[in-house]
Amino acid sequence: QVQLVESGGGVVQPGTSLRLSCAASRFTFNGHAMHWVRQAPGKGLECVATISYDGYRSAYTDSVKGRFTISRDNSKNMLYLQMNSLRPEDTAVYYCARDLGVGATLGVIDSWGQGNLVTVSS
Amino acid sequence: DIQMTQSPSSLSASVGDRVTITCRASQGIRNDLAWYQQKPGKAPKLLIYSASSLQGGVPSRFSGSGSGTEFTLTISSLQPEDFATYFCLQHNTYPLTFGGGTKVEIK
């Protein structure tokens, strides 16, 4: 059973930074691309960032480009999301999520963490 | 970015009903479409990917079809545990984009 455990969320003020972490276990982490997906309260889903299995390629949704950075440490089975210049509209539950593909990014998310709430408010 | 338009946004149905949800892409995405089920307070669950491939462990009453820009998710006989919100996801082009969701409620 794939396990993804997020941490690092909380309440922060606009303009500040936060780093989310995701500890992955029970699967071969370095074989899968990973995603961060967020869901604002009562709203739909938005994939904010994707990173390839080897960490060499990444992609971002327009609203976070230049502010968020996705990274991974395959030696530690860890995924990260560095969020800078946070805005109230970044308030959401952030999910760490695994790509279905092995050794290639399919863009199909097949496993999710429990979610971590980030609230940006003054 | 590719826009995904899902319809209806909500529907009411009874146990045993056949339910169809539609997702339309703003441009062609071949068959690169997935469907998810989400219950309140829980993470989404993958049901179908590549438009029609059933994820392991998902009941066969769920099926998907379509290609290009028009896709459907069908639940052949709605069960009590199927009342939830359903989302589509295009996995053709980055950034990945989701539909707005369809809430399936009990009639």
Q: How far is CA B96 from the centre of its chain?
A: 15
Confidence of residue B2 (pLDDT cuts 50, 70, 90): very high
The predicted structure's pLDDT at residue A101? 87
Confidence of residue B55 (pLDDT cuts 50, 70, 90): very high
Neighbouring-strand partners of residue B7: B22
Interface probe, candidates B96, B97, B98, B103, chain A, greatest A C-beta count within 10 A: B96
Kindly tell me the burial class for residue A101, based on how many C-beta atoms sit within 10 Å of its own C-beta (0-12, 13-18, 19 or more): middle
B24 CA: distance to closest CA in chain A (Å): 16
b vs e for A30-55, b when ≥16 Cβ sit within 10 Å of the residue's Cβ?
eebbbbbbbbeeeebbbbbbbbbbeb
Amino acid identity, residue A53? Y
The predicted structure's pLDDT at residue A11? 97
The predicted structure's pLDDT at residue B106? 87
CB atoms within 10 A of CB B11: 16
B32–chain A Cβ distance below 8 A for any pair:
yes
Interface probe, candidates B6, B30, B91, B92, chain A, greatest A C-beta count within 10 A: B91
CA distance B41 to A115: 9
Neighbouring-strand partners of residue A109: A99
